[in-house]
Structure 1
Amino acid sequence: MLRTLRQWLVLMVVTSAIVLGGCSPQGGAQSSAASPSPTQTASTPVTPASSPQTVGLPRLNGTATVALVVKGSTITAEIDGTNAPVTAGNFVDLVQRGVYNGLVFHRVVREPQPFVVQGGDPQSKNPNFPPEQLGTGSFIDPATSQPRYVPLEILPVGAKAPVYSKTFAEAGITAKPKLTHKRGALAMARSQPPDSASSQFYITLADINFLDGNYAVFGYVTQGMETVDKIQQGDRIESAKVVKGLENLKTDAKS
């Protein structure tokens, strides 16, 4: 009974940590949330052509390596465009644009047990922006002067293409996702609408399996989890760089 209550409390904390965090196309709040090991990859990239929501979005055809510097220490992550081409492409494109430089980790949840660290709200670059309002921002594409949103994108094990714009429960899928919420997973924060992810992301501090099939994992920390474990609310990303695989980023995607 005590264990069940504890799991329920964790679920409540988790849900609020992932569903209360930023602007969505529908005007809601943008959210969110593996041992530190390399990403699982398939032999050939999946294609996002089955979803009209992916048209014109950046795509990562393969993998890329990103280095985040926090408190003078480097966190290295392998970004998996093989299994999450649109989600990974969006993140790598934002890193390459310098969007994450100077942004704050505005949400850190370690109690009642380790959960996630979350950042990526562009509003946090302004040190005078009210901290209590962080988690409400999205990336504004300078080409359109509009927020850029990416669809929920999750590849089931054994499938040839990801499921777009639906959670596994909504799509009636019982298979596990190819990319799971292991400790060290990077995934996109979003609000309740499935296609509301933009720039906010989270890193899991433990295995958070009940998020599988609900949020889009796009990579894993491969080095520096000890730094992730020490991140405190208000810590800034000093720099974010693509150190390998930039040639796999396609920013002129037509489908």
Structure 2
Amino acid sequence: MAPRNQDREARAARQRLRDYQARQTMHASKIARRRRDNVVAVLVAILVIAAAVVVQVFYFAGGPGTPTPTPSPSATAASTDTPAPTPTPNSADVPNPAAAEGRTWTGEMTVNDIPLGISLDGAAAPQGVANFVTLAQKGFYNGLTCHRLTTSPGFGVLQCGDPNGDGSGGPGYSFGPIENAPAGDVYPAGTIAMARQGGNGSSMGSQFFIVYEDTTIPSDAAGGYTVLGTVTSGLDALKAGVTDAGTADGSADGKPSIPVTIGTIAVQ
């Protein structure tokens, strides 16, 4: 009986060893799989961030005088290595910066009947605010569309103010320089800023953009973008009623799915 017991014990010990080795192999396999999953997750996150930056650069390579582009893998951004062009003197048609009065202007803009409270900083951006206020008081913006929307994570912008409705139009003149561009290229939600052509700080006209979620816009050869002021109320309603619906073709940059029209802009 003793030898049989010893044999059974030896077989049992060998089985326990095999079970242990199998468990160790399975454990090692799980660890390796987990590491692979972590690496894949990190790579995906890097690709998402890189894609968002590329979309931002592509988006702001356009502006007044540049029709809304169809996103394309072959699109190229304005090179930040290109020297900034010499600023062009403003024509007599451009409103005098003194019209901004060096003060804060407050009022309301309606977009699709959504009232947006606005505040414009005439001291920080006298040329831009003088232009915006003058056009608003003339009724230039009434009935114009917001022709362009971006929806990438961390990059939410609605662009408006083009009489042609496609990104190519303006008030019949252009102006500069860039004023009140934010440090760090960060444009908080609610920012109202002037659109322009990539690399050209003297290409501003009537087009502006509303930032509906915190957005980083890389500076180009000309610098950043003129911040006019902020939306002080109604931004959540704008998101719910317009931007949350995305673009018409489902892309990250295109015409809003819901047609967007400026009603009136009143400032004082």
Q: Report TM bin, short chain.
A: 0.5 to 0.7
Letter in 1 for 2:170: S
Counterpart of 2:210 in structure 1: which amino acid?
A: I
Which amino acid letter does the alignment assign opposite residue 242 of structure 2?
Answer: I
**Match status 1:84 vs 2:125:** yes
Aligned to 1:201: 208
1:78–1:13 CA distance, 2 compared to 1 (3 A):
same
CA–CA distance in structure 2, aligned partners of residues 200 and 88 of structure 1: 13
**How far 1:52 moved relative to its partner?**
7.8
Matched, 1:4 2:46: yes
> In the alignment, which of 81, 88, 96 is matched to residue 58 of structure 1?
96
Looking at both structures, which has the greater relative contact order when contacts are Cα pairs under 8 Å and sequence separation is at least 6?
Answer: 1
Residues 66 and 241 of structure 1 are in contact (CA less than 8 Å); yes or no, is this contact kept in structure 2? yes
CA distance in structure 2 between the partners assigned to 1:228 and 1:111 by the alignment: 17
User: Is 1:90–1:150's contact at 8 Å kept on the other side of the alignment?
Assistant: no
Residue 20 of structure 1 deviates from its aligned partner by: 2.3
- Partners of 2:63 and 2:196 within 8 A in 1: yes
CA drift of 1:4 comes to 2.6
Distance 1:156 1:194, change over 3 A: closer
Give the corresponding residue for 2:159: 118
| Number of residue pairs matched by the alignment | 185
- Structure 1 residue ranges, 4+ long, deviating more than 4 angstroms after superposition: none
Deviations 1:52-103 (A, max 9, x none): 8357533212111131112222011101111111011111111111111001
Corresponding residue for residue 26 of structure 1: none
- The residue number in structure 1 matching 2:194 is 188
Percent identity over the alignment is 27
Aligned match of 2:228 = 218
Is the contact made by 1:70 and 1:227 (CA closer than 8 Å) also made in structure 2? Answer: no
Aligned CA distance change for structure 1 residues 114 and 241 (closer, same or farther; 3 Å): same
Point out where structure 1 has 5 or more consecutive residues left out of the alignment.
24-28, 32-50, 125-133, 140-146, 158-175, 245-255
**Alpha-carbon deviation of 1:21?**
3.3
Aligned counterpart for 1:231 among listed residues 236, 242, 255: 242
Secondary structure of the structure 2 residue equivalent to 1:205: strand
Letter in 2 for 1:152: P
Cα deviation for residue 16 of structure 1 reads 2.7
Aligned pair in 2 of structure 1 residues 8, 224: CA closer, same or farther (>3 Å)? same
Partner of 1:38: none
2:154–2:214 contact (8 Å) kept in structure 1: no
Residues of 2 paired with 1:155 and 1:238: CA distance? 27
Matched, 1:93 2:134: yes
Contact 2:189 2:212 in 1 (8 A): yes
Aligned partners of 1:30 and 1:191 also within 8 Å: no
Q: Do residues 136 (structure 1) and 143 (structure 2) align?
A: no
**2:21 is the alignment partner of 1:15:** no
Between the aligned partners of 2:181 and 2:110, the Cα distance in structure 1 is 32
Asked whether the 8 Å contact 1:149–1:197 carries over to 2, the reply is yes
Tell me, yes or no, if the aligned pair for 1:189 and 1:197 is still in contact at 8 Å.
yes
SS state at 2:60 partner:
helix
Distance between the aligned counterparts of 1:77 and 1:210, measured in 2? 22
- Larger Rg computed on CA atoms: 2
Q: Which amino acid aligns with 1:206?
A: E
Q: TM-score, structure 2 length as denominator?
A: 0.61
Q: In 2 relative to 1, CA 66–148 (structure 1 residues): closer, same or farther, beyond 3 Å?
A: farther
Higher helix share: 2
Deviations 1:122-175 (A, max 9, x none): 123xxxxxxxxx000011xxxxxxx22121323479xxxxxxxxxxxxxxxxxx
TM-score normalized with structure 1 length: 0.64
